[in-house]
Chain A
Amino acid sequence: MKPFTTLTSIVAPLPRDNVDTDAIIPSCEMTSTSKTGLAVGLFAPWRYINSAARTPNPNFVLNQPEYHGAQILASGANFGCGSSREHAVWALAEYGISCVIAESFAPIFYNNCIRNGIAPIALPRTVIGTLAGGAATVDLAAQTVNGHAFDIEAEAKMMLLEGLDAIDLTLKHRDATAAWQARDRAARPWIYLEKHP
């Protein structure tokens, strides 16, 4: 996974609360079992006047010339709520969005971002208002956006900064996990199942 360290980009404003993952990528745009080929469906209901014909909606922020190539999206509270579909994050990443700044994030979407190298940054609404539409520099190590400090959980920060794969990281503890499980099998035998016919 590509490490996320610093990023400078124009900030595309999407000033809505509760942007759900059905809006980020509708179920009908998830047409294969692949993690790619999803960028075209990103924000399809808002981005296109006619989704089937892919007729761009000129009023949608990402269709406006000043936001072409924007890598930072700014939105309201509870961004990414709804369905757990990781396709929402894959679509954002494939489109070129590397950072979402929002007042808050839904928890599953937040974790999906961390697993895919997208920085989900929570800032107060008033600060987001000053960033939206302009250029911003995110410095993850310093935990600032244009000098405004933000909080991020330590492990999430490390995973992003180093571009770590969570599974590889956890598999380093394979022996400890196996030892724990051997003890657990004795303590909670009811958890363990035999293959059912």
Chain B
Amino acid sequence: METILAAFALILDPQVLWVILASAFFGMFVGSMPGLSATMATALLVPVTFFMGPVPAIAAIVTTTAMAIFAGDIPGCFLRIPGTPASAAYTDEAYMMTRQGKGEMALGAALVFSVIGGVFGTIVLMSFAPALADFALRFSSFEYFWMALLGLTCAVIISPQSQLKGIVSLILGLMISCIGIGVATGYPRFTFGYFELTGGVPLIPALVGMFAVSEILRYVVAPRLAAPPVQTRLGNIFTGQLGLIRTYRKGLLRGSVIGTLIGAMPGAGADIAAWVSYATSKKFSRQPEKFGTGHVEGIVEAGAANNAALGGAWIPALVFGIPGDSITAIAIGVLFMKGVNPGPTIFMNNPELLYAVFLSFILANLLMLPVGWLAIKSAGRLLSVRREILMPIILLFCIVGAFATNNTVFGVTTMLVMGVIAYLLEENGFPVAPIILGLVLGSMVEENFISSMQKADGSILGFFSRPIAGTLGAVTVLIWLSPLLLWLWRRRRAAGASA
């Protein structure tokens, strides 16, 4: 109890509060700018944290990332541009809702459930960090391989129309992810001797191109056909959110749990958490046919998951100094610089500091409600802008965002090329979301497959020889075979009934 009081004293310091407030606005801004991700926001903060004590430094990072992950939903909702990769899973859904005049509900859900997910992740972090970190540390490449395959399976689930076309898109994404220097072999592939391509196709420009540029192209080709948005003003975003919590309480809990766990896995963060929980949401929904048509259920679950993942990622980071995602990788560096060494001893040596960090998580998530409301309010004016004025401005923002990721024109080229590809694909009924998923997971699948095969001396049985890997493998194979098994079972039952 004394430590908690001491932690409160640390966090209620006016300087800390001021830092948290400033970081909140900074995070909102960066997150809602397409092309600027939460990771980049954290990296930009690092030089500023040189001049802060450990508590404000960590509070700044925590607040900024929480805000940025939520804020990524705002341009997704209005403009179909995911502000950060963590919003990509449900950008289409949110955009569809806005076009149907349900923008306030989509944004309200994104905000409210981000807050709940974020708080949930923090509570798990506070209560179970050492045990969960121990579990996460048992994952080797075998386990990661199955996890990545499970992630790829999501692509098929989330494809709105034809599952076959979803698989084609996914494979296209996986093939794009092969470009660049192979992680396992260290040899350049499909680079045509061009040095920019040795780094592979950058994710964020591809993301912006596939969602936003393709939308702009659709408008350019048929400005009349692209229906004007029904909505020109946003209503109260908090209307009906309590009802949503009640209706989707199971999904909310599932999203928060999945998000925290995926976040706790080193190497997988908020992006993957959002994809997976969007897919589980659809899989377990009573109305899976409504997904992809402007249905809020997936936003509830995935919106909670990506913010829960932020807390989860701190679990291995604080306990073992192993980053749970790219953000905590930076945060660990900051902790070291402040003389706070992550490790099990942090719970004994600096408990009040640790609790101060936890409190800053909670404070940041609660602050998200008013700041997020402000951000949505001011962004809502976009709705009343005429589309022929808005579209060129969006393109301008896309170009700036694609350039900013790596400060190179190559990013802009990538974005434009991907935009044209996505436009052609979507015109022919191929969904773009699976391509992004393939890009995100491609190297993870490949790298873990090859290193597992090396470890098992080429024996495929290695993938089943460890308890966790065996279980994950069995589950994955069962999910793949489930349509076939169900079909066989129904046929037998039908045969039994007729006999």
Asked if A pairs with B, the answer is no
Query: Which of B's residues lie within 8 Å of A, judged by CB?
Result: none
Query: Which of A's residues lie within 8 Å of B, judged by CB?
Result: none
